[in-house]
Amino acid sequence: MQHIVSSSNTSTLIRVGMRDLRRDKWGLLGLCILLSFVVIALLVPYVSVDDPWEQSTTDIIAPPSWNHPFGADIYGRDVFSRVLWGTRVSLGLGVLAALTSFLVGTVLGSFGGYYGGFLDDVITRFIDLFIIIPRVILLILVAALMGTEVWYMALFIGLTMWASTARIARAQVITFKERGFVKAAALLGAGDIRLLFLHILPNGIFPAISNTMLQVGDAILIEAGLSFFGLGDTNVASWGQIINMGMLSISSWWLVVFPGAAVALTVLAFNLLGDSLERRLKPRLR
Partner 1 sequence: MPTYVTRRLIQSVPSVILVILLTFVIINLVPGDPSATLAGEFATPEYVAEIRKLYGFDRPVHERLLIYIGNMLTGNLGRSFFYKVPATQVVIERIPATILLVFPSIVLSMVVGLPLGIFAARKYPSRTTAAILFQAYVLFSIPIFVFGLLLMMVFAVYFRILPSSGMIGQFYATGLERAVDVLRHLVLPMLTLALISGVPPFVRLTYSAITEVSKEDFITTARAIGLDEDAVFRRHAFRNAMLPVVTIAGIWMSSAITGAVFTETVFSWPGIGSLLFDSILLRDYTVIMFIFVLTAISVIVVSLITDIIYERLDPRIRLR
Q: Does 285 bind partner 1 (CB under 8 A)?
A: no
- Give min distance, CB of 181 to partner 1, in A: 28
Q: Does 135 bind partner 1 (CB under 8 A)?
A: yes
Q: Does 272 bind partner 1 (CB under 8 A)?
A: yes
CA dihedral 205, 209, 211, 215 (to 10 degrees): 140
Q: Which of 34, 40, 96, 263 binds partner 1 (CB under 8 A)?
A: 263
DSSP state, 44?
G
Q: Does 14 bind partner 1 (CB under 8 A)?
A: no
Amino acid at 275: D
Q: Which is nearer to partner 1, 265 or 285 (CB)?
A: 265
**Taking a C-beta distance cutoff of 8 angstroms, is the pair 271, 33 a contact?**
no
Q: How far apart are the first and last CA of the chain?
A: 32
Helix boundaries (H) for the chain = 10-19, 25-43, 79-115, 117-132, 135-146, 150-177, 180-187, 192-194, 201-204, 206-228, 239-246, 254-285
- Give min distance, CB of 260 to partner 1, in A: 4
- What is the per-residue binding string for partner 1 in 205-234, x denoting contact by CB under 8 A? ------------x---x--xx--xx-----
**E strands, the chain, in order:** none
Q: Does 268 bind partner 1 (CB under 8 A)?
A: yes
In whole angstroms, give the CA distance from residue 130 to residue 118.
19
Q: Which of 71, 105, 158, 260 binds partner 1 (CB under 8 A)?
A: 260
Q: Does 2 bind partner 1 (CB under 8 A)?
A: no
Cβ neighbours of residue 23 closer than 8 Å, sequence gap 6 or more: none
Q: Which of 18, 131, 184, 188 binds partner 1 (CB under 8 A)?
A: 131
Q: Does 128 bind partner 1 (CB under 8 A)?
A: yes
Which residue in 38, 160, 27, 32 sits closest to 92, CA to CA?
38
Q: Provide the 10 A C-beta neighbour count for residue 281.
A: 16
Q: How many residues bind partner 1 (CB under 8 A)?
A: 40
Q: Does 144 bind partner 1 (CB under 8 A)?
A: yes
Q: Which is nearer to partner 1, 85 or 254 (CB)?
A: 254
- The binding site for partner 1 (CB under 8 A) comprises 26, 125, 128-129, 131-138, 140-142, 144-146, 217, 221, 224-225, 228-229, 243, 246-247, 250-251, 253, 256-257, 260, 263-265, 267-268, 271-272
